[in-house]
Amino acid sequence: MRSSSEERAAREQAIETPDVTQEPTPEAAPARVDWDAATAAALTEDNVAAPVQGAEPDDAPTPEPEASVSRETSTSASVEFDTPLANLVADEARRRAVLEQSDLPLPVSTRVFTVSNQKGGVGKTTTTVNLAAALARTGAHVLVVDLDPQGNASTALGIDHRAERQSVYDVLVGEMELGDVIQRSPENERLDCVPATIHLAGAEIELVSLVAREQRLRRALDRHLESMERPYDYVLIDCPPSLGLLTINAFVAAREVLIPIQCEYYALEGLSQLLRNIELIERHLNPDLRVSTILLTMYDSRTNLAQQVAQDVRDHFPAEVLKTIIPRSVRVSEAPSYGQSVISYDFSSSGSLSYREAAAEIALRGAPQPGKRS
């Protein structure tokens, strides 16, 4: 029999040395694997959850979405492309492609336009500047004559027209030659401008006492064109919205009249009087003058009024109205504040595209034959 001291030593040894045969605690147990390595590899490769021998269905991993979801997404995306916006984008892309492929002819002789409408706010200056820039971009040599005392056309073309600069005023009232006041526009190397300054506001009164007061601009322009080795292809004259001596000088100097008409209420207001004035000038001062072009501007296709005005104008002037219509455009309105036309300000905008199309249509139409109305 062991002594009490021996028993006490045996108990202490049992406490210090744990029983190696006891079960491991749950925290120390390794994670259970329900499929072997080959099965796991197959699942990874095929991306399909397959049952494993000995595993219950509830233990199987959740299957990944099948490829049919991608096919459905693709189908719905293709349907979304058939929308009004998508159709508009596609139509503009087609129109740009047509313009890029067009080879526009240059006129045989200089075509001189007066851009006029006795009603203000119809896009007269905007039309002058953007048509000039669009024509210059096609390779034509273009001159803009700013006859509006506000000088907005000069501003839009990036031309310096401070009061101390020589301008069209010095040509009309003084004895300066047109070539001495012409400035090259930073817009395009083929685009020139005769600027207007604030002094032009008093030209109406000063012209009254001058000899051949209605012929001043025409004579200066003819002299300049004759002196040029290669004359301008186009001359566009922007005049004020009134029938004074400045506007009469513009009509006498021109061969063609371009009338912008706003697609809004009262669009035809004053047009009949303008046509009568043009007829008087044709009869007494310039027998070669013709209304060759009418351009619809500020068109909003969302309104019935714009559509009705456009149709009324086409009904009255079927031969003169261009097929191209200039839409309302934020870019067209913003461009002048940066001293640019919309052509250079945002070439990809709808306003730029429309003015380029209008310029192409004018070039393809050609000048009206003398003595024959368009």
- How far apart are the two ends of the chain, measured CA to CA in Å? 141
- Across the chain, mean pLDDT equals 82
Predicted local confidence at residue 12, as pLDDT: 55
Q: Does 38 score more than 80 pLDDT?
A: no
CATH architecture of the domain with residue range 109-256+332-365: 3-Layer(aba) Sandwich (3.40)
pLDDT in tens, 103-149: 888 999 999 999 999 887 888 999 999 999 999 999 999 999 999 99
Domain ranges for the chain:
109-256+332-365
Average pLDDT of the residues in 53-61: 48
In the sheet that holds 191-194, the strands lie side by side as 183-184, 191-194, 142-146, 234-238, 111-115, 256-262, 290-299, 321-327
Distance CA 178, CA 229 (A): 15
> Which residue shows structure tokens 């200066």?
220
